[in-house]
Amino acid sequence: MSAEAIRVSRVRRVYDIGAGGSLTALDDVDLTVAPGTFVSVIGPSGCGKSTLLRVIAGLETPDGGEVRIKDATPDQAARAKMLGLVPQTPALLPWLSVLKNVSLPLKVNRDAGRRRRAEAGHDGPDMVELLRKAGLADVMHKLPSQISGGMQQRAAIVRAFGLHPDVLLMDEPFSALDEFTREALQEQLLDLWDELKATVLFVTHSVTEAVRLSDRIVVMAPRPGWITDVLDIDLPRPRGQAILKTPEFHHYEDLVRDALRGAFHARVA
Ligand code: ADP
Ligand code: MG
């Protein structure tokens, strides 16, 4: 029995790029994520963040090494609805209302949903209540096209939490949003995470976002994609707006920026 929510061991992913060429997107990546923790992955474009998430989600098979979600393979975990994935752009069905969109996975996976909620020892989130918490009460009967991008992404996050996954994988979910919307959504995400106790692996480009959200930050560098640093963020929670201005917060931002700078130069030097 593994104590880890996610265990990535010596994972390699090599893409065939034609003409006999290949590109190593992930090289010997080791990563463990403890249950109930919030871990962010940060690094420049092309360092393999999305590839890492896809491999963990079971959407791609690694060319070496292995991934375990608790004790299951990614395929088993996906089938058991232990995994939730929030992509960069909210994939809502345009012909369904916000409420129907977020309720759909629960309907489609009625059995898995029931089992997951039973295991969790409670009824699981009430979608209307979750929408209210996410500030979407007034728009839940609207179509996705009738609400803003920030609201659509909020709906996608509510939907992902709805199945009460053990592990939630999020690939730059806020990157298309303006800074104010982003800060508000960070706070709502932290509230949901706190309430539903999922393990979150969150990809971001933003140092501030990573520090605010995370218990731990994993720094990656490209060519080939590898993990250069793992930093623990020992800041108190809850982390409201006020924490963004504290010296402790800035200290962690500086640490992450230094790690990113070091990572960038590591293989160039
Ligand atoms: P990130 O999310 O950190 O920006 P990605 O995981 O998307 O990085 O990509 C890592 C590297 O792998 C990049 O060089 C990218 O061009 C390459 N890559 C990603 N997916 C494919 C694919 N399906 N075929 C070929 N190369 C790919
Ligand atoms: Mg990416």
Domain locations along the chain: 6-268
Residue where the block lists tokens 């059995």: 111
Query: How far is residue 82's CA from residue 176's CA, in Å, rounded to a whole number?
Result: 27
CB-ligand 1 contact for 78 (6 Å cutoff): no
Which of 23, 24, 220 to mutate for ligand 1's pocket (most ligand atoms within 8 Å of CB)?
23
Residue 175 has a pLDDT of 87
Instruction: Give whole-number Cα distances, 120 to 33, 62, 197, in Å.
Output: 19, 30, 10
Ion ligand 2 neighbours (CB, 5 A) are 49-50
- Residue 51 C-alpha to ligand 1 middle, in angstroms? 6
Pairwise pLDDT comparison (94 vs 114), residue with the higher score: 94
Query: Which residues, in sequence order, are CB contacts of 69 under 8 Å at separation 6+?
Result: 5, 6, 56, 76, 77, 82, 83, 166, 167
Mean pLDDT of 183-200: 89
Residue 123 has a pLDDT of 54
148 pLDDT higher than 60? yes
**Residue nearest atom 27 of ligand 1, based on CA coordinates:** 15
Nearest ligand 1 atom to the CA of 47 is 3
Pairwise pLDDT comparison (164 vs 166), residue with the higher score: 166
- Residue 226 C-alpha to ligand 2 middle, in angstroms? 14
CB-ligand 1 contact for 50 (6 Å cutoff): yes
CB-ligand 1 contact for 51 (6 Å cutoff): yes
Helix-helix angle 110-120:98-108, to 10 degrees: 90
CB-ligand 1 contact for 47 (6 Å cutoff): yes
pTM of the model: 0.91
CB-ligand 1 contact for 103 (6 Å cutoff): no
- Going by pLDDT thresholds of 50, 70 and 90, the confidence category of residue 91 is confident
Instruction: Give whole-number Cα distances, 41 to 45, 135, 227, 229, 269, in Å.
Output: 12, 27, 9, 10, 23
Of the candidate CATH numbers 3.40.50.300, 3.30.70.890, 3.20.20.10, 3.30.420.10, the domain formed by 6-268 belongs to 3.40.50.300
Residue 81 has a pLDDT of 85
Among the residue ranges 122-131, 142-151, 186-195, 225-234, the one predicted with the least confidence is 122-131
| Tokens linked to 157 | 């996050």
Helix-helix angle 179-196:149-162, to 10 degrees: 10
